[in-house]
Structure 1
């Protein structure tokens, strides 16, 4: 970009796109919290603005949309709830259900499917429930045809606030998590390369990245909580989480400080 001001303008103008795509994707991938998708999408939008080259003739909205959807796809792969065995069971159960339904001329019952498969009814019920959660592709025509600026003014202020919280939260992450988030989402480095540099396994980098996303989600939910303390999703110790909140309180605005000063570590800094 020719200037930081222009880069910031692109980010701010397209913030509603993050909210819209996060909502659309969450509707199809309900196992991933909308707030987490929004956090990943906001990071992707910022990195897209940093890398955008207007001389190539590609509209920024289209360029950013692809980067955001790509980040969502990476997140869904990292958080996939279904193992290979579960997916095989879903496929087998739905195949039997569809065959019976076609033969009976009506929807087959759980009991009928269980009898045909010689398995308990609760196994069939669980497989059908899991099958209902199967994620459809996010490379959907409806997503590809979105305009670069989505008319959702009621979300604009919240997304702007989310971006501010996210920026401070990323900076406040524990050192290794911050390094990995920077390398993956900002520098777009391959996980294999990051793992080699850190001297750890590919899965260890993925675990750190996922835990960083959970901490960012905790920060967003704490900031936007309406009265009650939100449930914690991060799996780090309470001391690590409190120290994370404390760093946000120390470096952020007065409103951020007021929200995140509630943790013991943050209170100690006050």
Structure 2
């Protein structure tokens, strides 16, 4: 539930729609932009830095402010997060931040994972390495690439754990039809189902990262492994989930 202070902030802006009121809301939620950008674990392209990503995210925040309807009773934070993240990704795509070689490697990993899933073969590291016909070092590099390169987030999925209000927030978008809202709900349920099928360690990493909001470094300390190894586990988990969702159609 929004605080009384937030309610007053929004009410003043709705009543006047003046630039000063909008600026106050931007200042109030700028930490949310920085939080979202920090958790995306995206390395800025050459010539850019963290502040550039925050600027992109702020554009998403402005869009969310313009589109938000407080009378619906939904949380602004949950409404804004996908738009903040989307604004950052849109700008990164314009910069072609992910190299062609990187995309080709991810496609190889996805196709190999899908082939094994279709055959009902266990997705352990050795099996994947053999299927890809690469050595251990190349395999680890590919998983770290997957961890950075898959621009998906389970924040919305994990928010379902918080109850009906959060669930409503996830589906709240003035531009969605009833059919589109139903399809989004079904998509979320499919992701949850796939998440539950991950091996214990991969599920644990995903849970700690998205539910407990630990960094990869902090997860490494908990599991007694390096941050790089956590990145690899995370990459494999997301790759597997993505492939399972695709093969399930």
Shorter-chain TM-score above 0.5 = no
Give the TM-score, by structure 1 length: 0.37
Structure with bigger gyration radius = 1
TM-score relative to the length of structure 2: 0.40
